[in-house]
């Protein structure tokens, strides 16, 4: 019984962290029409920097400054934002597909840095050892799990409320106008380059925050956490939940994460031994099918964007 | 006496080897309704695009109310009181008709991140004011009942009216209309003309591209004709009507 409950707490914490990432992508894609093909890069940037600033020192390893968690995660968020600002400023004036290609490239490059720059990132074995917030005051493991879930949910709620305020304001209106028709928005006095860059940076900072929480949750970060599968999962969550709808984004995160873990569990338990080697690829195919099916039959997602009446 | 609000000098635009607009110089008088005519491909829309900042001129200058605005982008020009509509309507399709119009007012407090998050009282007050104005303008162009419809779902003629409504939200001095009546049914077109003339009486300057000669002769004065990128006629409606070559040339190539 308590095993099930702890598992649920564990599951919900991870799902809520992913929901934060999906909310970040929803601002970029759902409201602004920016195709971020490197979600994992901004998540990973936030995660690694949080680890470097807040982690424990290791011999021969840069970082491990043991800064308090809020400071460490703020650094992670800032770094994710700087990364987004740099690549956004380079590509957002160009045609739309350049951002997709550039972000994808950033993710590949960052994963490669994480794998190879051992002095900084610990290389393939990653970085381990992170004093989790208030760890010393809450001795019981299960209670700490509950506390950490509450912390993640509080961040999720804050991000959700902030984004809702943003997208329902004149600012959100301008973002959506740019998504719909950049030239028409420009002819009505809006500055698409500025708005797109802001939206891209804010969305990426939100992803970076999720990365910081992830590091505190696992007390570990490694290059495999920056793999393209994360970008893929987050996109599936947004498409299934409903781009342009923040509630949809959160719902999609929980649904797809449940489906992902359930399929992993089912394959491990019921699939013949020979197939278990292929659990990863099979999950890839499953999630790919979900994306394709959704795009074919319900492209607007489970909770579609609401237009006009009742939106506010 | 009369005052020039918009002045073009030697305005030229090349697309590769094609010179779409060829050294156009003209003056638009404040409070006029100038008709811009010419056969398909004459360069009328290209000229609008340059004046409105959507295209950079290859050569030449644009002066708006005495200030050189050559090469400014269209968002900057909108802020300076010059609005335009598109020949093919460009509504924000997955936004309501009302939101399409609410977007337009410049310098909204809630249009910045900080304003939207932290100055909510002020934003709400501004929104209430903008909303009243938007409702009035939508009623003015007979779209009031469609305020909450997605703009992508209204008819082509209604989209033309929406283009005008959006432009009006910025209280522009000068409005460039690219074929505002094309595809609009006659009763709607009549409303459109009434609206244009009413705004004109309030001091708004219009430049209107239109293929319907009847429309031009009845509602515009003066008339400017372009052909192959050049100004081939410039004068009053009476002069235009008295110029058989103009109408022949126009009708001859346009059809
Ligand atoms: N973006 C562009 N790239 C290349 N050629 C263009 C472009 N825009 C317009 N042209 C060309 O420039 C010429 C003038 O086009 P423009 O759209 O200004 O004509 P117009 O007078 O508005 O015609 P219509 O009455 O059919 O709307 C045409 O030959 C057109 O093909
Ligand atoms: Mg045209």
Specify if B242 maps to a domain: yes
Choose among B54, B95, B120: nearest Cβ to A187: B54
State the average pLDDT for chain B: 92
DSSP class per residue in B149-215: SBGGGS-HHHHHHHHHHHHHTT--SEEEEESTTTT--HHHHHHHHHHHHHHHHTT-EEEEE-S-HHH
Q: Is the peptide bond before B222 cis (omega within 30 degrees of 0)?
A: yes
Q: At B214, is the pLDDT very low, low, confident or very high (cuts 50, 70, 90)? A: confident
For residue B239, tell me if it sits in a domain.
Answer: yes
With a CB-CB cutoff of 8 Å, which residues 209-268 of chain A face chain B?
Answer: 244
Give the integer Cα–Cα distance in Å for A241 and B175.
42
Q: What phi-psi label fits residue A63: left (phi over 0), alpha (psi between -120 and 50 degrees) or beta? A: left
Which residue of A lies nearest to B52 if distances are taken between CA atoms? A187
Task: Give the residue with greater pLDDT, B82 vs A59.
Answer: B82
Does any domain span residue A162?
Answer: yes
Which residue range(s) make up the domain with A131? 2-227
Q: Is the dihedral of CA A169, A171, A177, A179 positive or negative?
A: negative
Whether the CB-CB separation of B80 and B102 falls below 8 Å is answered with no
Q: What's residue A47's pLDDT?
A: 97
Domain span at residue B207 reads: 4-94+171-251
Q: pLDDT category, B116, cuts 50, 70, 90?
A: very high
Indicate if ligand 1 lies below 6 Å from the C-beta of B41: yes
- Domains held by chain A: number: 1
Compare all CA atoms of chain B with the CA of A304 and give the residue at the minimum distance: B94
- Rounded (5°) CA angle B172-B107-A247: 120
Residue B251 is predicted with a pLDDT of: 58
Minimum-distance ligand 1 atom for the alpha carbon of B211 = 25
Contact map slice: A 283-312 vs B, CB within 8 A: 305, 307-309, 311
What's B178's domain CATH number?
A: 3.40.50.300
Helices (H), A168-245: 170-180, 182-187, 192-218, 228-241
Cβ of B229 less than 6 Å from ligand 1: no
A212 contacts A47 by C-beta, under 8 angstroms = yes
| Confidence bin at B249 (pLDDT 50/70/90) | low
pLDDT digits (tens, 9 = 90+) for B151-190: 999 998 899 999 999 999 999 999 999 999 888 888 888 8
- Can you give the three-state secondary structure of A25-76, one letter per residue? HHHHHHHCCCCCCCHHHHHHHHHHHHHHHHCCCCCCCCCCCCCCHHHHHHHH
Identify the pLDDT of residue A159.
98
For residue A54, the distance in angstroms to the closest alpha carbon of chain B comes to 29
The whole-model pTM stands at: 0.93
pLDDT of res. A224: 93
Q: Is A235 a member of any domain?
A: no
Q: Which of B89, B90, B120 has the most A C-beta neighbours within 10 Å, making it the best mutation to test the interface with A?
A: B90
Is there a contact between A111 and A229 (Cβ–Cβ < 8 Å)? Answer: no
* Whether A184 and B92 lie within 8 Å, measured CB to CB: yes
B252 pLDDT higher than 60: no
Residue B26 three-state SS: strand
- Output the pLDDT for position A98: 87
The answer to whether residue A258 is domain-embedded is no
Q: In the prediction, which pLDDT does A312 show? A: 45
For B37-71, the DSSP string reads: E--TTSSHHHHHHHHTTSS--SEEEEEETTEE-TT
C-alpha A265, offset from chain centre: 23
Residues of chain A with pLDDT under 70: 1, 309-312
Put simply, the answer to whether A189 touches B148 (Cβ < 8 Å) is no
Minimum CA–CA partner of A162 in chain B: B117
Q: Is residue B138 part of a domain?
A: no
Task: Please state the domain count of chain B.
Answer: 1
In a domain, B202, yes or no: yes
Chain A interface includes B190 (CB < 8 A): no
Q: Is B194 contained in some domain? A: yes
Beta bridge mates, B230: B227
């Amino acid at each position: 019984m308590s095993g099930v409950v702890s598992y649920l707490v564990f599951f919900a914490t991870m799902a809520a962290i992913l929901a934060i990432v999906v909310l970040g992508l929803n601002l970029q894609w759902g409201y602004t029409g920016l195709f971020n093909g490197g979600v994992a890069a901004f998540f990973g940037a936030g995660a690694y920097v949080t680890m470097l600033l807040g982690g424990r020192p290791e011999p021969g390893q840069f970082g491990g400054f043991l800064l308090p968690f809020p400071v460490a995660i703020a650094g992670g968020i800032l770094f994710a934002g700087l990364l987004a600002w740099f690549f956004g400023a380079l590509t957002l004036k160009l045609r739309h597909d350049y951002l997709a290609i550039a972000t994808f490239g950033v993710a590949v490059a960052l994963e490669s840095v994480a794998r190879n720059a051992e002095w900084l990132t610990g290389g393939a074995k990653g970085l381990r050892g992170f004093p989790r917030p208030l760890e010393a005051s809450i001795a019981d493991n299960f209670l700490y799990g509950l506390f950490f879930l509450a912390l993640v949910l509080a961040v999720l709620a804050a991000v959700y409320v902030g984004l809702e305020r943003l997208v329902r304001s004149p600012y959100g209106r301008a973002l959506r106008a740019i998504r719909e028709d950049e030239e028409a928005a420009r002819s009505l006095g809006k500055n698409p380059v500025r708005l797109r860059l802001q939206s891209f940076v804010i969305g990426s900072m939100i992803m970076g925050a999720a990365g910081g929480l992830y590091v505190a949750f696992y007390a570990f970060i490694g290059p495999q956490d920056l793999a393209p599968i994360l970008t893929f999962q987050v996109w599936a969550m947004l498409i299934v939940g409903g781009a342009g709808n923040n509630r949809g984004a959160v719902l999609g995160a929980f649904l797809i994460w449940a489906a992902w873990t359930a399929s992993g569990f089912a394959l491990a338990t019921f699939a013949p031994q020979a197939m278990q080697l292929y659990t990863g690829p099979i999950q890839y195919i499953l999630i790919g099918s979900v994306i394709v099916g959704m795009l074919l039959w319900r492209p607007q997602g489970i909770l579609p964007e609401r237009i006009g009446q009742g939106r506010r | 006496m009369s005052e020039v609000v918009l002045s073009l000098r030697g305005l030229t635009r090349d697309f590769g080897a094609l010179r779409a607009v060829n050294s156009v110089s003209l003056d638009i008088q404040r409070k006029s309704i100038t008709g811009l005519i010419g056969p398909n491909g004459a360069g009328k829309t290209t000229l609008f695009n340059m004046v409105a900042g959507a295209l950079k001129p290859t050569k030449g200058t644009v002066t708006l109310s005495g200030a050189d605005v050559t090469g400014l982008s269209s968002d900057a020009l909108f802020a300076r009181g010059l609005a335009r509509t598109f020949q093919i309507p460009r509504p924000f399709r997955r936004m309501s008709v009302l939101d399409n119009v609410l977007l337009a007012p410049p310098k909204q407090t809630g249009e910045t991140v900080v304003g939207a998050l932290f100055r909510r009282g002020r934003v709400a007050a501004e929104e209430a004011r903008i909303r009243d104005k938007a409702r009035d303008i939508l009623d003015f162009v007979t779209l009031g009942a469609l305020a909450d419809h997605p703009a992508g779902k209204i008819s082509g003629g209604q989209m033309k009216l929406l283009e005008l409504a959006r432009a009006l939200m910025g209280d522009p001095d000068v409005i460039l209309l690219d074929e505002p009546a094309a595809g609009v049914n006659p009763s709607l077109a009549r409303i459109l003309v009434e609206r244009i003339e009413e705004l004109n009486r309030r001091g708004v300057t219009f430049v209107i591209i239109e293929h319907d000669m009847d429309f031009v002769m009845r509602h515009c004065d003066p008339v400017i004709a372009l052909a192959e990128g050049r100004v081939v006629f410039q004068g009053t409606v009476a002069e235009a009507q008295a110029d058989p070559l103009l109408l022949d040339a126009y009708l001859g190539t346009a059809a």
